[in-house]
Amino acid sequence: MGLIIPSSPAFAYYSDNFGPITADDATGFGVGVTAGTSSADGTAVTLMPALAHDCEYLWLAVSGLGTSNSANAALMDVLIDPAGGTSWTELISDLIVGFTTTILYNATGAAIPLSYHFPLWLPAGASLGARIRMQSASAPSSTRVLAAGFGGNKNPASWWCGQKVETIGTFDTANSLGQLHTPGASGAFSSWTNLGSPISARAGAVQWAVGGVTGASAAKMTYDFQFGAGGAQIGPRVYRGMASTEVGVSLFQGPIFCDIPAGAQLQIRGSAAGALNGAQTNLDCAAYLVS
């Protein structure tokens, strides 16, 4: 008996907010979103108005939420109006987006934005928006948010998507921080530690997040964070690099499909490449589960 090999996903529809590149700087793509300062919510901004098709896969990316010598911790809410307007409700709460470098698409330098991948169903006609809060008392002017949606999969059996996202972690929203975790030093891992409370619904996909330090002074360091449950890792680790200019970058993850039952207690552990000091002791982290 031969194996039955299903066809791969084949999305018929695609939408994004990339826009034309009009300059070799940080303002030539995506949508500008000004963060609220001192951990107050900023003004909501439309990312994609009135989707022309159902969406089964949502990709988000953020850049430019980092300024040297600033407290760059930041959280972003992804918003939705199913009627295609701006009467927003929260779709995804408290995405960790701080300490992200400015993206320059030119010969002087380049970097990748912080990306999140959600196999998430959104109805045609819905508008998507975003608002950001930031710990710093001043907000960068170069913050950009990119969004893309895929829909109309020709082979439904090849792709799973959910309808809501649960944010997991013990957050300090008054300081724009996720749950703090102290990694082990010099390549040693910390002990597995509970991440937030047990999850409320069975999850079919997840995104892990590691942000930055808790203040305005970072140090050059590479971190290895692992997420899981019951002392066992689930999905890929998160490599997080931080620079002494208070910005950093995370290794690209892509979609992470899983089967995590309701009531499961997620855990986290981490390792720093070198010795820790006051500027490196805690990093904030979170998980976002699609159900």
CA 237 to chain centre: 14
Report the alpha-carbon distance of residue 94 to residue 213 in Å, rounded: 17
Report the alpha-carbon distance of residue 95 to residue 167 in Å, rounded: 8
Give per-residue pLDDT as tens, 60-72.
999 999 888 888 9
Domain at 161-290: CATH architecture: Sandwich (2.60)
CA 87 to chain centre: 23
Give per-residue pLDDT as tens, 229-269.
999 999 999 999 888 888 888 886 789 999 999 999 999 99
In CATH terms, are 11-157 and 161-290 the same topology?
yes
The one-letter amino acid at 204: G
Mean pLDDT of the chain: 92
129-147: average pLDDT: 94
Q: Residue 1's pLDDT is what?
A: 46
Taking CA atoms, 177 is separated from 10, 12, 218, 285, in Å, by 38, 38, 15, 8
Contact 234, 195 (CB under 8 A): no
Contact 190, 271 (CB under 8 A): yes
Closest CA relative to residue 280, chosen from 216, 209, 219: 219
CA 100 to chain centre: 11
pLDDT at 24 over 70: no
Q: Residue 159's pLDDT is what?
A: 95
Give per-residue pLDDT as tens, 71-129.
899 999 999 999 999 999 999 999 999 999 887 666 555 667 899 999 999 999 999 99
Taking CA atoms, 289 is separated from 72, 165, 169, 233, in Å, by 25, 5, 11, 15
Domain at 11-157: CATH architecture: Sandwich (2.60)
Q: Residue 105's pLDDT is what?
A: 66
Q: Where are the domains of the chain?
A: 11-157, 161-290
